[in-house]
Amino acid sequence: DPLLLEPATLVASRIRAGKLKSVDVVRAYVKRLEEVNPALNAVTDTRFEEALTEAEEVDRQVAQGAAGSERDQPLLGVPFTVKNTIGVRGCVQDCGSFYSKGRRAPEDAQVVALMRKAGAIPVAISSVPELCLSLECNSVLHGTTCNPYDSNRSPGGSSGGEASLLGAAASVIGLGTDLAGSIRHPAGNCGVFGHKPTHGIVSRHGLYPDRGEAVGKFSTPGPMCRYAADLLPMLRVMAGENAPRLALDSPVDLKKLKVFYLVDDGNKYIGRLQKKFSQAVLDAVACLEPFCEARPRQVSFEELPRASRIWMATVRSGAPPPFAEVIKNYTGKLNPLTELALKLVGRSHHTVAAIMVALREREKDFTDPARIADLTAQGQRFVRKLEELLQDGDAVLVMPAAGFGAPGYHGQWLTNMDNVNYTCLFNTAMVPATACPLYLDKRGLPVGVQVVAARYKDRLCLAVARELASKFGGWRAPGTRTSA
């Protein structure tokens, strides 16, 4: 259906001009969702009837000349999907947890309310791994979500259902959250765009579970979409009253852009990247180099091989409740070894991924105050290096968004637990970062990069994303045999 293949902002402008009916667009996406979800298992709840009613109201307002302006309602009549952890009033919001089975959002999250105010219409809720702590998107409640480019592979996590629907053209724009790479990792796996905003810009109100400030400050909602042109309008909407802090309307002169890049440090703790990911970084840099007055420069960070440990220690330094208690919704404390035994005989209410997080939490790096302090200090050193690198003018860092083997086969995360090393430290640094698809490999799997900028310079990431999309074509439909 051609209606599925247009950017959200273009769809909205056509609806506003009376050239397209919102109800027709919503029907097209409802039909697509019904077609692909049996294969993807990426939807945990729907609100199709309500969405169609809301679309009819949009069309009525357009006919009466009462629709909002493009500035006020840039997403007028456009359907969108929402990650399970983000509240849509009356819809399932259980975070894939057995102990939250049947829970529904009591109200719209602040970011959903802002999307509605901008004219967008929520149509479905997308799947997540249990408590959003895995690169594999599965849960006891909702099962396993598949990658639209290969159903034997995972879309990643934790915004895996969202990325899967976007990659399958069952959604054009969606809302995700990112705690350690949870937007960028699945976006890269599913060939779509995903932006982690500067922390503190987009409200976390209405997210579930509420992890408290000690953990929550490292997480942020962000836009996910198929077309790079939709990133900036979505971010402006989602930022609400904080949008002016990002100066999104300030033009970006690519000639003044300073490009730094990281290909692969080759450390054994991460595992060498597949050649295609290293090449993608070089291809992206080669695309940007003709615009830049300064020559791109390769960099490295000695902290990356320990990034996941640094991240976890930094989170633990705030003394949040143990995950072994969180996983049981504070009804007790999980014993991971006992739970693994129960899993073997089919009596566990948890995924292996969640159990392994509780097990890893017991390691000395995360229980010994001296070890925690040392790893946290390493993280602070990384942040200082990154700030020094990026604060000098308009600078960006181009690098991989995921480690070896992405997108992995179902369960493969167990052998690649440090794949978040390429994403998680940018959460502790609280800087913006964008996953950008470049092309498909010879097996038809997405290959892309991550673009990082200094705090409040999200516009640099988004400008680079648009340029890369213009050069490489952006999202490509599953089954397109366009090789690198």
Residues classed as catalytic: 83, 158, 182
User: Considering only CA atoms, which of 35, 51, 37, 40 is closest in space to residue 1?
Assistant: 35
Residue 371: how many CA atoms within 13 Å on its side-chain side?
A: 14
CA gap 400, 227 in Å, rounded: 20
CB 20 within 8 A of CB 7: no
CB 264 within 8 A of CB 276: no
Structure tokens at 445: 């799997």
Taking the alpha carbons at both ends of the chain, their separation in whole angstroms is 27
116-to-77, 127, 200, 451 alpha-carbon distances in Å: 9, 21, 21, 29
CB-based burial, 393-426: b 16+ in 10 Å, e otherwise: ebbbbbbbbbbbbbbbebebbeebbbbbbbbbbb
Q: Which residue has the tokens 């692909």?
A: 36
**If you write DSSP's letter for every residue of 338-393 in order, what string do you get?**
HHHHHHHTT--SS-HHHHHHHHHTTSGGGT-HHHHHHHHHHHHHHHHHHHHHHTTT
β-bridge pairing 173-178 and 220-225: antiparallel
CA gap 42, 126 in Å, rounded: 6
